[in-house]
Structure 1
Amino acid sequence: MKVVLIMMGLLVVIATALPLLRFNQWWIRIFDFPRGQITVAGIVLLALYLYFWDPYRIYESVVLGLLVLALGYQLVKMFPYTVLMPKQVLAAESRSDDARLSLLVANVLMDNREAEAFLAIVRKYDPDMILTVETDQWWEQALRTLEEKYPHTLKNPLDNTYGMLVYSRLKLIDPEIRFILKDSIPSMHMQVQLPSGDRVFMHFVHPDPPNPKYATETTERDAEVLIVGREVEKRDKPTIIAGDFNDVAWSQTTNLFQKTSGLLDPRVGRGMYNSYNAKNPLLRWPLDHVFHSDHFKLVRMEKGPAWGSDHFPIFIELSLESGAEAAQEEPDTTPAEGDQVDEKIEDGKQQTDTH
C-alpha cells in the first residue's frame, strides 16, 4: 500500500512540475489544465500518506515534502480565481444602459445539432453581441433566424472546427476576418458603437488546442493570442478580447497575454467559470475567456447552462464608466516577460513558415 501511495504521490509532483518547463509539446502543456483535479487527488493522497508515513524513513519524508510543495503551488495558481482574492474588475456603478455592452460566447461543438437549445439561451440572456465558434455551414443556416434581431454579422463558417460567426445588434465598424498564423484558423476584429456614442474595439480568437489531432505543440496557439495582445498593448481605448483560447486562465501563456495586453480578467476574485467540459463534471476548467480594458466595470458575468455542446456558454455584461481606469489597476509585463513574449511570437511565426 505504501509503495502505491509513494508512486501516486510522485505522479502528482511530476504533473505539477511539468508545466514549469518551457517546452511547448502538447503532452507537457496539457498539465496546465487539470489543476483542480490534481489538487483534489493530491489532498486525498496526502491524507492517506500521513496515515502510513514513517518519519524515520528519509525517502518517505522527502516524498511527503514534495507532495506538500506541489499542492501548495497548485493552490497558489488557482487562488486568484476564488472569492478570497480581491476583485480585479470592480462592480459597475453607472445605471446608464447606453454605455453597456453584453456578449454571449459559445463554442457550439461542430457536430452538435441542438440549435434550438442554443437559441433559447440567446433569448434568455438577450445579449448585444453573440460569438459562436466551431460553427460550420449547418450552424450558419440554423442560426440565420438570429439576423432578424441581430442584423449586423461577420461570418466565416468552416468544417474544420474553426468556423466563427458574429451576430450584433450594434453596428460593426471596419469588420475584418484575419488569419493570423494559419490559413485554416480565422480571427475576427471590429469596432462597435454603443448607444452612448462610444466605440469599443472587439477581437475574437480561437487558436489550436494542445491535442495531437490538431497540434503537437502549443507554439502557434501561444503566438496567436500574444500577437493580438501586442496589438492592443498601447491602445488606451475601450477594448474586449474574447473566445475559446484553448488555454486555461492560470497558464503561463494566458498570464503573459494578460500582462502584454494590459487587459483585466473579471473572473479574478469571483470564480473560475469553468466552461469545459460540460459533458464531464470531473474534468472542467476555464477555456472560454473574456478580457477587457480598464475602461469597463462589471455588471454581471454568468456561466450558462449545459445545452448540447461540450462547452458551457459564457455571458458577460460590462459598463463603460468614467473614472474606471483610475480605480482599476491594469497588469503589465516586466522586461524579462516582454522578451519572452517576443520569443514566443517569433517561434510561432517561424513554425508557421516551415509548414
Structure 2
Amino acid sequence: MLLARLHWFCEALTSFPLQLTLGTIPFAIGFMIARMKWWAVAAGALVAINGLILLSGMPINRQSDVRDGPKLRIASANVRTDNRDHASFLKWAEAARPDVLAVLEVDARWANVLDELDFYPYQIVDSRNDNFGIALLSTQPFEMSRILFLADSDVPTIVARIRLEDETWTIIATHPLPPVGNDHWGARNRHLAALAALSKQQDGRVIICGDLNTSPWSPFFGDLLRDGRVKDSRAGFGYLGTWPDHQRLLWTPIDHILVSHGMVTTSRTVGPPIGSDHRPVSATIIDPSPK
C-alpha cells in the first residue's frame, strides 16, 4: 500500500486485500503444522497486514434507522458496451426502479435500450463508440445538466441537479479510464483529482456515482473522499464486490456511490448479473438535516 502511489501495478494489488488475506491463511496454517516457525510468523504477519488493510476500506458507521428528510434512491450500472443481454438489464432496472440511474458504457445500441425505460422521462445520454458513453436517467426533472471533460480528458462526466423538497442535490456520474499502464493510470489519477475539486465546488448536497476504476483501498480513492468532501455509502454494509463478475474469486468494489457528509445511507446493495462484467449498485440516501 505504501508503494501504491509510485506505480500502477502496486496500486492494482491494493484492490484485492480480501483475496490476499484468504490466500495467505493456508500458508500460515501449513507452516505451523510443519513447525516452520519463522515461515509461519511471516505468513501470519501477512495475514494480519492484509486483514487490517481490508478492514480499513470497510468502515462500519451506519445510521440505517433514519427515516425523515429528503430521500433519493440512486443506482449505477456499467452495462458493458458489447453486452447484448439487454433483457437482464431491463429486468433489473424495471424491478429496482431507482429515482436516478447512471448508466455507463452506453453506445447507440444501448441508447435505444434506455428508451424502453419509459418511467424515466428525463434522460441525458452521451452515446459513444468506445467504452465511455454515459447516461443519467431520472424520474424527475433536472434543474441543470451539463457534460464535462475532467482534467482535459476525452472521457465525459455528467453533472446534473435535481430538487428534493426544498433542497438541491447535485448528481455527478463519471467513468475514468482504467488505470492499466502508466499513461492511463496518470489520466485516471488526474480525473479523480478533478472530480474531487468539482465535488468540493458544489453548493448543497452531492452524490458521485459510477465505475470509478479504483477500489476503496487505493490511496487515490482516499484522496477523492477527503478532497471531495464525500464519504463511501458502503460504510456498514459489507464488502459489496462488483467486478469482475465473470471471475468472482477476484471480486472487488470499483462501482461506487459517494455522498456528502451529513447524508445517511439507509440501504446499499449490489444487483444481480446483467450480462456485464460489472454488477449494478444501488443506494437509498436521506438527508436528515436539510439546510
Which residues of 2 match residues 142-181 of structure 1 at below 5 A?
A: 142-146=113-117, 148-181=118-151
User: Is the counterpart of residue 26 in structure 1 residue 15 in structure 2?
Assistant: no
> Structure 2 vs 1, CA of residues 217 and 111 (structure 1 numbering), >3 Å: closer, same or farther?
closer
Which ranges of structure 2 fall in alignment gaps of 5 or more residues?
none
Q: Where in structure 2 are the equivalents of 1:133-282 lying within 5 Å?
A: 133-146=104-117, 148-194=118-164, 196-212=165-181, 216-233=183-200, 235=202, 237-282=204-249
Instruction: Give 1:181 shift.
Output: 2.8
Compared CA separation, residues 283 and 20, structure 1 to 2 (3 A): same
In the alignment, the residues of structure 2 paired with residue 54 and residue 102 of structure 1 have an alpha-carbon distance, to the nearest angstrom, of 53
What amino acid sits opposite 2:288 in the alignment? Answer: E
Counterpart code for 1:30: A
Q: Deviations over 1:25-60 (max 9, x none)?
A: 3322221212111111111111112222444xxxxx
Partner residue, 2:261: 294
Question: 2:19 aligned with 1:37, yes or no?
Answer: yes
Q: Is the 8 A contact 1:25 1:216 kept in 2?
A: no
Q: Which moved more, 1:100-109 or 1:70-79?
A: 70-79
State which drifts further: 295-304 or 243-252.
295-304
Aligned residue number for residue 284 of structure 2: 317
Structural RMSD (CA): 2.1
Pick which of 67-76 and 251-260 moved more.
67-76
Normalised by the length of structure 2, the TM-score is 0.92
For the residue of structure 1 that corresponds to 2:26, the secondary structure is helix
Q: Matched residue of 2:159: which SS?
A: strand
Say which structure is richer in strand: 2
Does structure 1 residue 86 correspond to structure 2 residue 86? Answer: no
Matched length:
291
CA distance in 2, matches of 1:320, 1:133: 26
Structure 1 Cα separation of the partners of residues 3 and 56 of structure 2: 22
1:7-22 paired onto structure 2 within 5 Å: 19-22=1-4
Amino acid at match of 1:174: M
- Residue 216 of structure 1 and its aligned partner are, at CA, apart by 4.7
After superposing the two structures, state which structure 1 stretch, 218-227 or 310-319, moved more: 218-227
CA shift in 2, pair 1:114/1:188, >3 Å: same
Work out the CA distance in 2 between the residues paired with 1:258 and 1:110.
28
Aligned with 1:228: secondary structure? helix
Amino acid at match of 1:198: E
261 and 51 in structure 1: CA distance in 2 versus 1, 3 angstrom threshold: same
Whether the aligned pair in 1 keeps the contact of 2:173 and 2:208 (CA below 8 Å) is yes
Query: Is the 8 Å Cα contact of residues 151 and 194 (structure 2) preserved in structure 1?
Result: no
Shift of residue 231, structure 1, vs aligned partner: 2.7
Shift of 1:169: 1.1
Per-residue deviation, 1:320: 1.8
Report the equivalent of 1:121.
Answer: 92
CA deviation profile, 1:54-99 (whole Å, cap 9, x unmatched)? 44xxxxx2x54443332222111211455xx531x42252346xx2
**Counterparts of 1:37 and 1:265, CA distance in 2:** 21
**Cα drift, residue 113 of structure 1:** 0.9
1:24 Cα deviation after fit? 4.6
Question: How far apart, CA to CA, are the structure 2 residues paired with 1:39 and 1:216?
Answer: 30
Identical pairs, percent: 21
Alignment match of 2:47 (pick from 71, 83, 87): 71
Deviations 1:271-325 (A, max 9, x none): 12101121122110001001101232122111111121111110111112117x9
TM-score (norm 1): 0.76
2 CA distance for matches of 1:23 and 1:243?
22
Question: For residues 132 and 192 of structure 1, what CA distance do their matches in structure 2 show?
Answer: 17
Q: Secondary structure at the match of 2:45?
A: helix
Q: Which has the larger radius of gyration?
A: 1
The residue type equivalent to 1:133 in the other structure is L
Q: Is the 8 A contact 1:278 1:312 kept in 2?
A: yes
SS, match of residue 240 in structure 1? strand
Question: Distance in 1 between the 2:86 and 2:166 partners?
Answer: 34
SS at match of 2:249: coil
